[in-house]
Amino acid sequence: MSIPTINAEGLNKSFGHRQVLNDISFRVATGEMVALIGPSGSGKSTLLRHLVGLTCGNRTQGGRVSLMGREVQASGRLRRAARIERCRTGYIFQQFNLVGRLSVLTNVLVGQLGSMSRLRALCGRFTDQERQRARACLARVGLEELIDQRANTLSGGQMQRVAIARVLMQDAELILADEPIASLDPRSAREVMEILSRIHAEDGRTVVVTLHQVDIARRYCHRAVALKDGRLYFDGPINELTDERLQALYENADLDEL
Ligand code: ADP
Ligand code: MG
């Protein structure tokens, strides 16, 4: 069997006395597109952040995470290698996390490996080859016309497409997207999902995307991982998520609203 892109075993996470993740284990194979769902506060964002070691105090909380076959929370000599694995993981946020005063093109250029390139971004020094590649990434998300515009003049949907181009520039094998469409109007949301889906299908990238609309998850993802109160509630083909299960997951919320 090939090495899974994500292998999480027995993850636990507490904030103070509150246990937010409780013994979570799951694997994601290379090339999957998985929806991470569950009610607000169920631990989805914490889980995504925990995977890349963005939550504090990881090593004392128990559990192991490997990304692309390498343990992320490794120490000592392995730490550098682990950091590189994290660089091969692209993160997309609900609030885009662009640098507003920089141009669209520069925002994409800083998506490259390592802090040196970030330093160069501040000095505005990039090679022609890098600029060309960044343009190509922007063309893939349909924004080649806007490369010189400041990021803070874009619409939400356009900003999210820049964030996706940045992940493409980073050449990330694994894309973790935390509520990427939650702040967008329906049309922009659909565009962003189409782009993620295309990257997944054409480039074979592995994508884990947090969504609160179950119908969108059904349209774009074959598999769902669902959390409820910090525990794994469901992990399987999304078409096995029956209305009954969904009702129990969302505690009888109106299913038409999901
Ligand atoms: P979701 O993304 O599913 O809405 P989160 O992962 O954001 O859920 O949050 C899960 C729980 O952890 C919530 O009860 C939230 O209040 C709590 N939580 C998240 N981050 C922190 C933090 N930095 N400090 C304390 N509690 C937190
Ligand atoms: Mg969240």
Per-residue DSSP letter, 4: P
Task: Find the 4 Cα to ligand 1 centroid distance in Å.
Answer: 27
Q: Which of 169, 168, 149, 172 is nearest to 159 (CA)?
A: 149
Bridge partner list, 225: 36, 235
Per-block mean pLDDT, blocks of 10 residues, the chain (258 long): 88 89 96 96 93 60 82 57 66 90 91 56 77 96 96 97 94 94 96 97 96 94 97 97 93 63
Q: How far apart are CA 198 and CA 5, in angstroms?
A: 19
The complex's ipTM works out to 0.98
* Residue nearest atom 14 in ligand 1 by C-alpha distance: 41
Q: Which amino acid, residue 233? A: Y
Task: Find the 43 Cα to ligand 1 centroid distance in Å.
Answer: 6
**Of 15, 18, 44, best ligand 1 pocket probe by most atoms within 8 Å of the beta carbon:** 15
Q: Assess contact for 70 and 85: CB atoms under 8 A.
A: yes
pLDDT of 69: 87
Whether the CB of 15 sits within 6 Å of ligand 1: yes
Q: Which of 96, 214, 201 is nearest to 156 (CA)?
A: 96
3-class DSSP state of 56: coil
pLDDT of 58: 45
| Contact residues for 46 (Cβ-Cβ < 8 A; gap 6+) | 13, 20, 21, 55
Q: How far apart are CA 42 and CA 37, in angstroms?
A: 9
Which ligand 1 atom is the nearest neighbour of the CA of 43? 6
Bridge partner list, 13: 21
DSSP labels, 183-225: TS-HHHHHHHHHHHHHHHHHH--EEEEE-S-HHHHHHH-SEEE
Q: How far apart are CA 15 and CA 9, in angstroms?
A: 19
* Residue nearest atom 13 in ligand 1 by C-alpha distance: 41
pTM for the predicted model, two decimal places: 0.90
Whether the CB of 38 sits within 6 Å of ligand 1: yes
Which ligand 1 atom is the nearest neighbour of the CA of 230? 10
Q: Which of 155, 8, 120, 6 is nearest to 68 (CA)?
A: 6
